[in-house]
């Protein structure tokens, strides 16, 4: 028995996490981050004891460019939710490298005002390496917090890349934050962010240019969203998160969206989230198989052929694909093993 397996009393850990014990929650989320082999068992245990479908946890995603005030806004939202007695779990997702992951979380310190509040659980999730890892680990971490019964889970992601947007888009309600004077306002809302946002916030609204930013944003939302009858029209709200100004209106908008999001709409969003999670597990397994192909036609050898001009990339891909399929058939079991996404790519 390997030492990690001996040290883990999974049933006890899951039970304590479901009771909301912060250390057990943190431990489970570490297993998620590390793509630990025990995850399979953890997720099965959480499912077996899960709340009924459409359960109580509302998942809110926040995304926006660096420096826009996401952490301050998250902190203000925590205060507002706590004031009405709701419990809050926060996942601060950082699509960064192994190096910068640990070192650059200083801005999270702003959230430490909630550190002694038992109704709040805050966790930074820095991925290590392959981005597919976050597509897998974020919904898994949400699953852990939902099992612990938090009323709300906030997923805060840094950046406005396709990937960060995908992660934020896994929420029930996605909040996109912008601020005036962050370079070109139009550039800041590129990259699919208009389609994914349910609620838009122009933070630092006491600064010059806030109204122009909000106006541009409303115009572009009008172009991007074709409003259907009964559809949701994403509001654009000014806030000054550092003073709490506008936060009440933001909370009200989140409530309105959550009320709008019922029945099929809710099932659709949550289905997409689960679908992304399942697909991430499958793709991670397939990617791991690609990585394990040695001493056969390994990726590096094929790449060298392509670089040398002796083979075209499609022929190389065919060979690799065949080897991946063969490896799967030989393995026989055909089960998803350790996700292993952190160590790939």
Q: Is 95 a residue that touches a second copy (CB under 8 A)?
A: yes
Q: Is 332 a residue that touches a second copy (CB under 8 A)?
A: no
Phi, psi angle pair for 225, to nearest 5°: -100, 120
Q: Is 56 a residue that touches a second copy (CB under 8 A)?
A: no
Minimum CB distance to a second copy, residue 147 (Å): 10
Residues 280-299 that bind a second copy (CB under 8 A): 281-283, 285-287, 290, 299
Phi, psi angle pair for 288, to nearest 5°: -65, -35
Q: Which of 1, 2, 3, 103 binds a second copy (CB under 8 A)?
A: 103
Buried b (16+ CB within 10 A) or exposed e, 281-316: bebbbbbbbbeebeeeebeebbeebbeeeeeeeeeb
Q: Which of 93, 160, 201, 214 binds a second copy (CB under 8 A)?
A: 160
Contact in structure between 179 and 69 (CB atoms under 8 Å): yes
CB closer to a second copy, 4 vs 187:
187
Buried b (16+ CB within 10 A) or exposed e, 72-109: bbbbbbbbbbbeeeebbbbbbbbbbeeeebeeeeeebe
Contact in structure between 159 and 95 (CB atoms under 8 Å): yes
Binding letters toward a second copy, positions 112-151, x by CB under 8 A: ---------------x---x-------xx--x--------
Residues 195-214 that bind a second copy (CB under 8 A): 195
Minimum CB distance to a second copy, residue 13 (Å): 16
Closest C-alpha to 98, from 133, 150, 59: 133
CB closer to a second copy, 172 vs 253:
172
Stretch that binds a second copy, among 9-17, 26-34, 186-194, 244-252 (CB under 8 A): 186-194
Q: Is 68 a residue that touches a second copy (CB under 8 A)?
A: yes
- Rounded CA gap, 89 and 271, in Å? 21
Burial label for 163, CB within 10 Å (0-12, 13-18, 19+), is middle
Q: Which of 25, 46, 241, 253 binds a second copy (CB under 8 A)?
A: 46
Minimum CB distance to a second copy, residue 335 (Å): 5
CB closer to a second copy, 80 vs 236:
236
Q: Which of 182, 210, 240, 253 binds a second copy (CB under 8 A)?
A: 182
Q: Is 104 a residue that touches a second copy (CB under 8 A)?
A: yes
Closest C-alpha to 181, from 159, 199, 203: 203
């Amino acid at each position: 028995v390997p030492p990690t397996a001996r040290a883990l009393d999974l049933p006890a850990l899951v039970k304590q996490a479901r009771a909301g014990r912060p250390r057990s929650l943190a431990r489970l989320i570490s297993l998620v981050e590390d793509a630990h082999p025990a995850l399979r068992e953890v997720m099965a245990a959480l499912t077996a004891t899960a709340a009924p479908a459409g359960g109580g946890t509302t998942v809110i995603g926040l995304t926006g460019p660096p420096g826009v005030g996401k952490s301050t806004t998250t902190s203000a939202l925590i205060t507002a939710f706590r004031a009405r007695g709701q419990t809050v779990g926060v996942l601060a997702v950082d699509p960064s490298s192994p190096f910068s992951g640990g070192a650059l979380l200083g801005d999270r310190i702003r959230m430490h005002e909630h550190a002694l509040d038992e109704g709040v659980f805050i966790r930074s999730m820095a991925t290590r390496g392959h981005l597919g890892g976050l597509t897998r680990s974020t919904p898994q971490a949400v699953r852990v917090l939902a099992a612990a019964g938090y009323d709300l889970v906030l997923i805060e992601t840094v950046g406005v890349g396709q990937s960060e947007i995908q992660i934020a888009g896994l929420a029930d309600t996605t909040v996109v934050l912008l601020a005036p004077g962050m370079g070109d306002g139009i550039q800041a809302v590129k990259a699919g962010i208009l389609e994914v946002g349910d609620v838009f916030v122009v933070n630092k609204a006491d600064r010059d240019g806030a109204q122009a930013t909000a106006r541009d944003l409303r115009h572009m939302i009008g172009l991007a969203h074709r409003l259907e009858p009964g559809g949701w029209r994403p509001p654009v709200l000014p806030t000054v998160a550092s003073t709490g100004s506008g936060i009440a209106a933001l909370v009200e908008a989140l409530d309105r969206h959550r009320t709008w999001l019922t029945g099929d709409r809710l099932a659709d969003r949550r289905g997409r989230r689960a679908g992304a999670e399942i697909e991430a597990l499958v793709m991670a397994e397939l990617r791991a198989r690609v990585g394990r192909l040695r001493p056969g036609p390994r990726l590096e050898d094929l790449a060298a052929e392509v670089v040398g001009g002796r083979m075209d990339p499609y022929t190389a891909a065919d060979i690799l694909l065949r080897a991946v399929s063969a490896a799967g058939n030989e393995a026989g079991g055909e089960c998803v093993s350790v996700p292993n996404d952190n160590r790939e790519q």
